[in-house]
Structure 1
Amino acid sequence: MASSPFVPSPVRRPVSRPVTATVVLAVCALALTSCGSSDPDDGTGSGSGSGSGSGTKKAGGTTTVTDATGTKVEIPAAPERVVALSEMDLDSALALGVEPVGLTAGRGQKGAPAYLADQAKDIPVVGAVTGPDVEKVVQADPDVILAGQLADKQVLAQLRKIAPTVVTIDAAKSWKTSLELTGKALGRTNEAEKFLTGYDTKAAALKKDLGAGAGASVSVARYSAKGTAVMQQGVFVSDVLKDLGFERPGIQSEKGEGHSTPISEENLKEIDGDWLFIGTLDPGTSDSQLLAALGKKAAYRQLNAVRDKHATVIDGSKWTSLGGAQAAVSVLDDIRKAMVK
């Protein structure tokens, strides 16, 4: 739509199956094989995984990590077969130079989030946002499982019979804290620290180059056939925007109850700001198709950000999903392309 005031950025569920009797037997067999009678459960509730599949645990000792729930987990000092059960886990592992042997599909995706698709193209899918497929996790033969923000105690117990399982995302859902914890779990602490230092340097440079624009009000929204949803505080992209000193108009300045908050077209003016970044999770929708859909809606055309040509289409799988380390750096790049002249 050549006349649209939107400016496209140049960047551009399989359902978990019930655990069958076969899977339960497989999990138990793994636990018995790896533990034997010489490593009984000491009853401490440490959460340590009791097995590593078919003996892939690497010699060289173990290390103990306290995960995001406060659980102490004993893991191989240098794990080689890692399963990532959230988008953030996948992002973190790849950022630290570790290619997982299993991943869960990203929000609204059939596989890895679009921004990680090339890096993760050869990694098997072992679950969805709704939860892991335990049978497929068994088949991946992990020696460490990164469990994201998984809170289901029954599923966690099943996973811990397969391999040491680390819940990596705390209640604050901080990608930085998660990266640090993942670095400890994967024996990549130095790499995690280096990444965070690089991010801080890049964010500081962008904030300086934004000049007066660093204090702008910025809205982030996701559009689908169901309507518009905005990103409030307490989610990944809001933390990145806070690092840059941006204001967030309307309810976006408040902590949300869920990952995103639906907003009616009649109330869009409440989140109008200096800039609007909007995307979709539908991999079949192109930037031009999204622009065409939004350009037909009077509520969007009346926004100041749209009239000022300060509206940019972004990758929803990166900006409006769970996010992670590489996503954070990429968001900085998107903002620079859109806002720095």
Structure 2
Amino acid sequence: METPMTRTSSLRSRAAASAVVVVAAALALTACGTGQESGKGGSAEGPGKGGAAGTVSVTDAAGTEVEVPEKAERVVVLSELDLDAALTLGVEPVGLSAGRGQQGAPAYLADEAEGIEVVGAVTGPVMDKVIGAKPDLILAGQLKDEQVVAQLRKIAPTVVTFRHKDSWKESFAGVGEALNKKAEADKVLAGYDERVEELRAALGDRADDTVSVVRWAGNSAAVMQQGVFVSDVLKDLGVKRPAEQAEQGEGHSTPISMEALDRIDGDWLFVGSLDEANTKSLDAALEKKEFAALDAVEKGRVTKVDGSKWTSLGGPAAALSVLDDIEKVMVG
């Protein structure tokens, strides 16, 4: 169903207004503080019970109780999701781990994260650089190496913010607690839910279409199954997925051969790549007969998207941007 331009313009205006309200509310809450004026160790809106003066106690995703600063000032983030979450909550980290396939922050956060020192990569942190950043709080993503976590905890309070099975929303809520910004995080999540409902209504009949998402790296494709960031966003939106993508995946993405490419077909196909080299490789692949045979290709419904937000590990900023991309493509 084609949607009139007047409706699209109205939708975008409302979405923009909603985003401004969410950010403004978060900043206002940040400015007001959550117990700083009282000088107490905890606060009514704090994430956990009060600890020592100026700290609060939180239980992280690994089940460890950690005393964190009531208002952290020098935060190091060791995952894309933690970076996304911190920036969304008005906290600019002093150190970050490079995103997947990136030299620094994920491409969609490059402007917001400009100037933040890189202290590690997806493979792990560089301890000397973490020490040099002088953090008072470390958000360690889903870091599983207990020895590395133990080393980090000698540098600063360290919070493991999510487990493999956690959704981005659960992880974001955990970051909100670690940063003592639970109220702000709740506002952001409420704004996201409103945006989802708005877009679902705008899709109309196309809400029943099948949406396929593929990660392109090197010269091969990998499907994004259930249990990963973008699949959680699409599940919230309520769109259908190709059979294989409706199943739980064992890892981040599942490789698929060119000979089996028909398994990625859908009414709409979104293909994410992380850099210029992979984008060029994808352009060449789209000319091959295997891609040409797909219904989505024949109908002109293939969209190349930023893999740093679509096929990596994002937070609220990535989720809202994915919804914007879907709106532009599927609503018009």
| SS, match of residue 155 in structure 2 | coil
For 1:74 and 1:301, how far apart are their aligned partners in 2? Answer: 56
Residues 106-157 of structure 1 show CA distances to partners (whole Å, capped at 9, x for unaligned) of: 0011100000000111100000000111111111110000000000000000
Does residue 168 of structure 2 align to residue 175 of structure 1? yes
Any conservation in 2 of the 1:65–1:184 contact (CA below 8 Å)? yes
Does residue 258 of structure 2 align to residue 299 of structure 1? no
Does residue 85 of structure 2 align to residue 89 of structure 1? no
Does residue 325 of structure 2 align to residue 334 of structure 1? yes
Give the alignment partner of residue 121 of structure 1, picking from 102, 106, 114.
Answer: 114
For 1:223 and 1:115, how far apart are their aligned partners in 2? Answer: 17
For 1:236 and 1:82, how far apart are their aligned partners in 2? Answer: 23
User: In the TM superposition, what is the alpha-carbon distance from 1:291 to its structure 2 partner?
Assistant: 5.8
For 2:158 and 2:123, how far apart are their aligned partners in 1? Answer: 18
| SS, match of residue 64 in structure 1 | strand
Structure with the largest fraction of helix:
2
The 5 Å alignment of 1:252-331 reads: 252-284=245-277, 289=280, 292-331=283-322
The higher-RCO structure (CA 8 Å, 6+ apart) is 1
Aligned Cα root-mean-square deviation (Å): 1.4
Report the equivalent of 1:35.
Answer: none
Report the equivalent of 2:144.
Answer: 151
Report the equivalent of 2:189.
Answer: 196
The 5 Å alignment of 1:13-24 reads: none
The 5 Å alignment of 1:207-222 reads: 207-222=200-215
In structure 2, give the amino acid aligned to 1:122. G
Any conservation in 1 of the 2:76–2:135 contact (CA below 8 Å)? yes
Assess, with a 3 A threshold, how the Cα gap between structure 1 residues 234 and 138 changes in structure 2: closer, same or farther: same
For 2:276 and 2:56, how far apart are their aligned partners in 1? Answer: 40
For 1:73 and 1:186, how far apart are their aligned partners in 2? Answer: 12
Report the equivalent of 1:109.
Answer: 102
For 2:108 and 2:315, how far apart are their aligned partners in 1? Answer: 11
Comparing 277-286 and 297-306, the one that deviates more: 277-286
For 1:250 and 1:61, how far apart are their aligned partners in 2? Answer: 51
Any conservation in 2 of the 1:60–1:76 contact (CA below 8 Å)? no
For 1:75 and 1:278, how far apart are their aligned partners in 2? Answer: 40
Any conservation in 2 of the 1:109–1:283 contact (CA below 8 Å)? no
User: In the TM superposition, what is the alpha-carbon distance from 1:279 to its structure 2 partner?
Assistant: 1.9
Any conservation in 1 of the 2:218–2:281 contact (CA below 8 Å)? no
Any conservation in 1 of the 2:215–2:222 contact (CA below 8 Å)? yes
Structure 2 gaps, min length 5: 1-51
Assess, with a 3 A threshold, how the Cα gap between structure 1 residues 290 and 336 changes in structure 2: closer, same or farther: farther
Number of residues of Structure 1 aligned to a counterpart in Structure 2: 281
Residues 247-272 of structure 1 show CA distances to partners (whole Å, capped at 9, x for unaligned) of: 11132111111111100011111221
Tell me the TM-score normalised to structure 1 length.
0.80
Percent pairwise identity: 62
User: In the TM superposition, what is the alpha-carbon distance from 1:80 to its structure 2 partner?
Assistant: 0.5
In structure 2, give the amino acid aligned to 1:63. V
In structure 1, give the amino acid aligned to 2:85. S
